[in-house]
Amino acid sequence: MAHLRAATGRRPDDPTLRRLVADLHARSAPFRELWADHELRHKVSGHKRLYHPLVGAFTLDYVVLTVPNVPGQRLVAYSAEPGTIAYDALVRPAAAAPRASTVAG
């Protein structure tokens, strides 16, 4: 519900979204009740489970930041504490990546 409400807030004139909300409103009493609540919550931090083919599964912390004066834009920053499995999972592929070389002349 929160994602749909956020999408309609970002694009209030989108005919597809307007039809979807109207259809759900017409067919579903629970939808009407939830939609009337008008409460919109954005998750601003948490944990994200990821998988990388070289290092396997690991979990990162994240925080969502809003971008001032740019409606609908958010920046998601992921992090891991040094010494954790997640940190090692981030560092290992970077360490294995080929380095750029410079050519003199």
List pLDDT tens digits, range 61-93: 988 888 888 877 888 999 999 999 999 888 887
Mean pLDDT along residues 51-55: 86
Of the listed ranges 19-23, 31-35, 54-58, 91-95, the least confidently predicted one is: 91-95
User: Which sign does the torsion angle of CA 59, 60, 64, 67 carry?
Assistant: negative
Residues in the chain: 105
Of all residues in the chain, what percent are helix, strand and coil, respectively (each to 5)?
40, 25, 35
Q: What's the number of CA atoms in the CB half-sphere (13 Å) around residue 35?
A: 17
Exposed, middle or buried by CB within 10 Å (0-12, 13-18, 19+), for 5?
Answer: middle
Distance CA 76, CA 83 (A): 22
pTM across the whole model: 0.51
**Residue 22 counted as domain residue:** yes
Q: Mark whether 67 and 36 lie in a shared domain.
A: no
55 with 84, same domain: the answer is yes
Residue 63 covered by a domain: yes
Domain span at residue 2 reads 1-41
**pLDDT surpasses 60 at 40:** no
- From 51, 34, 53, 38, select the one nearest 86 (Cα to Cα): 51
Same domain, 37 and 47: no
Model pLDDT, residue 60:
93
